[in-house]
Structure 1
């Protein structure tokens, strides 16, 4: 009896593997599936903060079950076409999602990918997307995939002979998955339980179900545009019913990739940004201001500063076509004597700025085309944009608001090399870090010239300078001002206010927020206004500040300052 069973097994094997190519084909399938499981598990593991070995083992198990349910079905088709399309789509999915996470430290959602496709493609063309060896994880199984394709006729023949075992594997995998999910349901950690939980957050969904499931959950949360508009939380009403005759000129500069720590950084004993460092003693200085850098990228910065509201988490706020920006401080200034102008060295279509800034209330928005400039690297050089802005304002004939968004110091920090090179940084081996320091040195020199010109030509001018987000250097030698709390990355940027009377102040007890910009500007202006905001006037040092909203949470300002200072001290 035993011999009969063994002989049947030998016959089955010999019939299954008629030639050596059959054996190679079977091994190709085996190793392809194993490496596919491993690469998908590694991909998801990398996207979960503080993931440990137990979580990785869980991901390997769950991924294995899904792969064993998926590929046997794909192998049922005689032609390779569907398998090739599926593989290419999978590789692109992993690369795009991993690149986005490496840059934004957040999860990419389908609707966000679609709405910001132009911005993403432009960033890639300008080498601004992450260039990291870990992206090769996406093609870890490529050698076995190629072998599988070459031997696909043999694979297809094996599939026919293994039809029953393959069906059994699919059914068994489905059964194990169902049992596991039932256990999650009983423990109240099924996807329906955690989808709307602030306690768990997105990383828990990615950990348990993967990025695709997380994206599907986000789609269910989106709603229509009107629902998105209604979801903004503005804060309590703040008014000024008295109009003053003193209406100073207001100059705002939003500096690309300027984070808090660069202000005090030195290289070979010298400050990288000596002018900005001098402002820490010669102006009103808030070292740590919370930045909003969500799905609208940099545009979230001006959106939150101008409208004094936290931007949307799952949608690019500045692209809400029917939103009329009722809380814009620019509109409040325009109700008074002010003229408002905005300038940016990129194309206006990027993040819909050419439309949005008019909706904010600006009289004119000048992009690179409107200024009749050309790209030098990516975008127009900051010194040219700042000089252009001052020339436009000469003939304004009224108090002015100038809002400039810089471009030169955009990652990967290659733009400035076309028109400025500081030899002091030539010894730095890390190309990105060297580029960052060189870019910031250029920005520092440019801002010094800009501030000097304003002081020479305007007797009653306020100059507000702040960063938009951290530079994402990825070098241990550069400690960036951010901290991870739960699922989310909190980025901090500096803010400076240069006043006509030379006021000096350094905030050391609490963090500021981008939503503070609007009430500060409005109180400076002396116009009558009414807005709703959680922000405070950053020039009223005795004002009791409200909380800082951040992704559904309300943060005490002193606690946030403590969190970032502790993070920077312990790194």
Structure 2
């Protein structure tokens, strides 16, 4: 213990004292951040205790790396490690403010997207955030002020051993207590908030790295035998098409309208006596339009790219990062590829950079014939530009001539951008007042949503005047939430009720409107998700899907499953909601009594199985072993 204690106690003026100071500062800073900046649903004494101690083991361990170095390098390494831990913590704070989620390693693989996110990031940064780096400045000052003192500093062999031992003791106790409160925490994964709550931000980063490495190794280890179990599963869960609707849109053109950040609560919502989306409201009541009012987004960290991935493939996005980025070279049997056999040409229209979300690569893998990105549009006028590309009205106007170059029948997708966080809009372009909750994101949201609605109306006018309207199926879908649950206080004011867990889940509903000339429309209350779009659209086109590897099912089928999984393992259904480890009665919004758990746990197991099988397909690139006529292939 001589290394630990000097003649007058702990040598607080030496390296050991600064190490202990650094451990204390990062520990307390991380604890306060986890407690105040993240919604981790901490309940009970044990969970509060775990939240308190979980940063301590990580701080002791990571900062002890400095003991491996000699002399003044020891202090330099301590400062570097401390700074990196602070950057990791603060980056997650900023990321969480919008996504209500934590950064994963695959999201760091997406640097090509960062340049286009500048405005959104700045909107999330607050002046008081400088407080996160005051302690970093203190350590840098100590490193400079005491540099001579650290030239010959020695701590011996015992100190790093003691530091690591203490770290392992604290971390082991943390893990044991966490497993006691939440059995199989690491084996079952749950969602990222559970890992952070029980194990802390830094251990979560290690867990995420391990899970990412496991997923990356799956492709190398996969072979053709792995697809057989998947085939059996998807065939056993196949939903026969509804004969009333099968082929209702046969040989028609297909237009997808990607409604950025549009949530279902906007349909028929009035702000200060004005309808926010009057045109979408009228479409929901159109005699040839079916409006699905229980349609949920199922996106994760990939957000917009996840939505596209699901509607094109009926495969789930990944639990970490975006499949558009990390699985861009996989083999897919996406909608454009399937429809080539039926004479369809295909194209995507998007007034942003073709590299954003790796679209210029993955669209080729999906089988698209054309991708009209920013290079195909006039983006020279700043007044026509949003943060993520061309504003919706000039975008649709300029897309008209491009659309007319495509042979019919065509399969197309138009990606809008105006209604995107942080929902800024030139006030010369707005036609509705802001809300007045005091939450800037929520208040601005209604102006950009109204603008998007007006742009869609103008595009419909063009479709009618050009004659396309009478021979085109138009599918309008929301890609993900616009207002995250970090804004639930303001949202409770907007919707006029408390945002309970069940209400929050229902706020994840996004619009789905399917217009087919000659089809009887109406409001459809069936529970469905984005995974279900592909088989639904293909069946409307008269395309059989029994041999396709799809994890969604035709919404219009009598066999459609109304259990809608979310990417984190939660689910909703007409009777039971599973949210963050708790089961709720859909009608009452109250937690189920444990005596009612049996059915809920069966549904939960079914959800996990479906997610796991889909992940096997994507991570293992298993479709390379499967032909479109249903045969298993060798690589």
TM-score (norm 1): 0.80
2:41 maps to 1:50 = yes
More displaced, 308-317 or 244-253?
244-253
Shift of 1:222: 1.4
Q: Deviations over 1:409-433 (max 9, x none)?
A: 121112x327622352286754323
The answer on whether the counterparts of 1:462 and 1:499 sit within 8 Å (CA) in structure 2 is yes
Preserved contact between residue 379 and residue 390 of structure 2 (Cα < 8 Å) = yes
2:63, 2:82 within 8 Å by CA — same for their partners in 1?
no
**Matched residues in 2 for 1:426 and 1:511: separation?**
30
1:534–1:548 Cα contact (<8 Å) kept = no
Shift of 1:94: 1.4
Match of 1:342 in 2: 348
Count matched residues.
Answer: 545
Asked whether 1:181 is paired with 2:187, we answer: no
- Give how far 1:395 is off: 4.4
Q: What do residues 233-268 of structure 1 show as CA deviations (whole Å, max 9, x unaligned)?
A: 683357889989941222110111111222243221
Could you tell me how far apart the structure 1 residues matched to 2:342 and 2:578 are? 39
Structure 2 SS opposite 1:284: strand
Identify the residue that residue 212 of structure 2 maps to in structure 1. Answer: 219
Distance 1:490 1:532, change over 3 A: farther
2:280 matches 1:276: yes
Match of 1:6 in 2: none
C-alpha distance in 2, partners of 1:527/1:193? 43
Does residue 60 (structure 1) correspond to residue 52 (structure 2)? The answer is yes
Say what the alpha-carbon RMSD is for the aligned residues. Answer: 4.3
Residue number in structure 1 paired with 2:323:
317
1:135-161 alpha-carbon deviations (Å, 9 max, x no partner): 55632524643553453248649976x
Equivalent position of 1:101 in the other structure: 96
Task: Tell me what 1:197 maps to.
Answer: 188
Change (3 A) 1:528 1:544: closer
Deviation at 1:552, TM superposition (A): 7.9
Are the structure 2 counterparts of residues 437 and 243 from structure 1 closer, same or farther at C-alpha, using a change threshold of 3 Å? closer
Name the stretch that deviates more: 61-70 or 114-123. Answer: 61-70
Contact 2:422/2:441 (8 A) holds in 1: yes
Q: 1:61-100 to 2 correspondence within 5 Å?
A: 61-68=53-60, 71=63, 74=66, 77-79=71-73, 80-100=75-95
Residue 369 of structure 1: aligned partner = 375
How far does residue 532 in structure 1 lie from its aligned partner after superposition?
3.2
Offset, 1:443: 0.4
Cα distance in 2 between the residues matched to 1:107 and 1:490: 20
1:469 aligns with 2:483: no
1:303/1:67 Cα in 2 relative to 1: closer, same or farther (>3 Å)? Answer: closer
Shift of 1:354: 1.4
TM-score (norm. length: structure 2): 0.73
Contact 1:91 1:138 in 2 (8 A): yes
Distance 2:500 2:370 in 1: 37
Encode CA deviations 1:318-377: one digit per residue, 9 max, x unaligned.
Answer: 232432212x12222221132222111211111111122232222211111123434613
Give the one of 534, 541, 550 matched to 1:518. Answer: 534
Q: How far apart, in 2, do the equivalents of 1:14 and 1:324 lie? A: 65
User: How far apart are residue 513 of structure 1 and its match?
Assistant: 0.9
1:73 CA drift (Å)? 5.9
2:346–2:370 Cα contact (<8 Å) kept: yes
The 8 Å contact of residues 83 and 136 in structure 2, kept in 1 or not, is answered as no
Counterpart of 1:452? Answer: 461
Counterpart Cα distance in 2 of 1:465 and 1:281 = 14
1:187-216 deviations in whole A, cap 9, x for unaligned?
966999642215x55444332253222223
Comparing 148-157 with 369-378, which one deviates more in the overlay? 148-157
**Alignment of 1:548 onto 2:601:** no
When Rg is computed on C-alpha atoms for both structures, the one with the higher figure is 1
- 3-state secondary structure, aligned to 1:365: strand
Shift of 1:301: 0.4
Query: C-alpha displacement at 1:38, in angstroms?
Result: 0.6
Residues 183-192 or 307-316, more deviating = 183-192
